[in-house]
């Protein structure tokens, strides 16, 4: 039987922001997820266990074609379990799975806009060796070697996501030079979050080929430069149906009440980004508005005009854990 490589990808226990890890297993070619064996690793090297009893279990939960290797090779996203098969505390996917199941009749969809910043060494890509580029203004959706930096990497990444089967729907250059965005969705949970983590992994991995690293830090350059977010667009069967705008207004009241609880899982260092400037609302305030990019939540013009659709939670930072963010949105909006 032909051999393939299976890249096992999982999320570690690093605090305050977990990191992706992966290692390669060479196995007989596979047809479906059930053909992929469980595996283990040393949790003491990933801040998930102490030295004496450190083996943790990798349970494959999603398989995709590996777009960077040969036909038949696969990427395998895993959940982390304790040796006895119980859920490891760092495994936030398990909780989202339960929440999504509990509220499945609401038919929640998510679309996430992942912003990120490219770095070469310790400088944003394309920035002068000392000093700063010209102030922000012309870079967003720009074109030209003096305006955008890293498009070849961005295109290679989008191409890899498409070939892997990730529901990527667009990319754009962002307001700060060297900052970019891709969008995934609209997809239900937990798939949206699985796909976002896999797309992040591909971004870092493809960056290796270019000698460029991507960071999800929410405020990579201090001062008058935009931060990086992960706007999370959300809808339910009810918000998409006739009269859905009323359901969205009810949702805004619920979100306002639980603002602090949401902010807690919307990404570390988000206070550096949510200042009230640079298209954000201050971190301690909740405000929503139609077409308002300075609000915590924006209701797109198209939703207002149609009287139904989705809303955009602009609070999540680029480095948020989509498992936690999706779980919070479902619980708050669909719960009593
Ligand atoms: P922005 O104008 O905020 O930059 P983008 O075009 O970058 O918007 O992103 C819009 C996002 O909204 C996409 O990820 C898309 O999948 C998502 N989206 C569209 N319709 C819905 C919907 N009904 N429910 C949830 N998400 C949606
Ligand atoms: Mn966008
Ligand atoms: Mn953006
Ligand atoms: Mn947006």
| Cα-to-centroid distance, 279 and ligand 3 (Å) | 10
The DSSP element (H or E) to which 292 belongs, if any, is none
Beta strands in 134-282, from DSSP E residues, in sequence order: 168-173, 179-187, 213-215, 232-235
Among 171, 179, 186, 294, which residue has the most ligand 1 atoms within 8 Å of its CB, making it the best to mutate?
Answer: 186
**d(C-alpha 226, C-alpha 176), whole Å:** 6
Q: What is the predicted pLDDT for the residue at 45? A: 87
Give the tokens for residue 308. Answer: 């139904």
Among 107, 108, 110, 111, which residue has the most ligand 1 atoms within 8 Å of its CB, making it the best to mutate?
Answer: 111
Q: Is the CB of 110 under 6 A from ligand 1?
A: yes
Q: Is the CB of 195 under 6 A from ligand 1?
A: no
Q: Is the CB of 182 under 6 A from ligand 1?
A: no
Residue located via tokens 């969809």:
109
| Cα-to-centroid distance, 185 and ligand 1 (Å) | 7
Comparing CA positions, the residue from 254, 239, 210 lying closest to residue 308 is 239
Q: What is the predicted pLDDT for the residue at 126? A: 96
Q: Is the CB of 310 under 6 A from ligand 1?
A: yes
What torsion, rounded to 10 degrees, do the Cα atoms 298, 300, 304, 308 define? -100
C-alpha distances in angstroms, 213 versus 118, 139, 200, 205?
6, 20, 11, 9
Nearest protein CA to atom 15 of ligand 1, as residue:
111
Q: What is the predicted pLDDT for the residue at 221? A: 96
Q: What is the predicted pLDDT for the residue at 160? A: 98
| Cα-to-centroid distance, 112 and ligand 4 (Å) | 8
Nearest protein CA to atom 11 of ligand 1, as residue:
111
Q: Is the CB of 111 under 6 A from ligand 1?
A: yes
**pLDDT beneath 70, residues of the chain:** 51
Q: Is the CB of 174 under 6 A from ligand 1?
A: no
Q: What is the predicted pLDDT for the residue at 336? A: 84
Backbone φ/ψ region at 41: left (φ over 0), alpha (ψ -120 to 50), beta: beta
- Structural domains of the chain, ranges and CATH numbers in brackets: 3-87 (3.10.20.70), 100-334 (3.30.590.10)
Q: What is the predicted pLDDT for the residue at 51? A: 67
Output the pTM of the full model: 0.97
């Amino acid at each position: 039987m032909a051999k393939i490589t299976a890249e096992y990808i999982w999320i570690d226990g690093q605090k305050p922001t977990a990191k992706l890890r992966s290692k390669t297993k060479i196995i007989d070619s596979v047809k479906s997820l059930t053909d992929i064996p469980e595996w283990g690793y040393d949790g003491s090297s990933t801040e998930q266990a102490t030295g004496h009893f450190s083996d943790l279990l990798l349970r494959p939960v999603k398989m995709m074609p590996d777009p960077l290797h040969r036909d038949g090779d696969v990427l395998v996203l895993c959940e982390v379990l304790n040796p006895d098969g119980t859920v490891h505390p760092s495994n936030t996917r398990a909780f989202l799975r339960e929440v999504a199941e509990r509220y499945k009749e609401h038919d929640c969809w998510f679309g996430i806009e992942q912003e990120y910043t490219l770095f070469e060494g310790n400088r944003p890509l394309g920035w002068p060796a000392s000093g700063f580029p010209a102030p922000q203004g012309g870079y967003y959706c720009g074109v030209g070697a003096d305006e955008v930096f890293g498009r070849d990497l961005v295109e290679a990444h989008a191409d890899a996501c498409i070939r892997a089967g990730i529901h990527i729907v667009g990319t754009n250059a962002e307001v700060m030079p060297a900052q970019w965005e891709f969008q995934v969705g609209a997809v239900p949970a937990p798939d949206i979050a699985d796909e976002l983590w896999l797309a992040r992994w591909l971004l870092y991995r493809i960056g290796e080929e270019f000698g460029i690293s991507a960071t999800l830090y929410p405020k990579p350059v201090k001062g008058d430069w935009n931060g990086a977010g992960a706007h999370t667009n959300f809808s339910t069967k009810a918000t998409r149906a006739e009269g859905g705008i009323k359901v969205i207004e009810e949702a805004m009241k619920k979100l306002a009440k639980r603002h602090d609880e949401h902010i807690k899982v919307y990404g570390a260092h988000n206070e550096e980004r949510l200042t009230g400037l640079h298209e954000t609302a201050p971190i301690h305030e909740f405000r929503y508005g139609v077409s308002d990019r300075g609000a915590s939540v924006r209701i797109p013009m198209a939703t207002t005009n149609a009287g139904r659709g989705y809303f955009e939670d602009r609070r999540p930072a680029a480095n948020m854990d989509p498992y936690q963010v999706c779980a919070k949105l479902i619980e708050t909006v669909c719960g009593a």
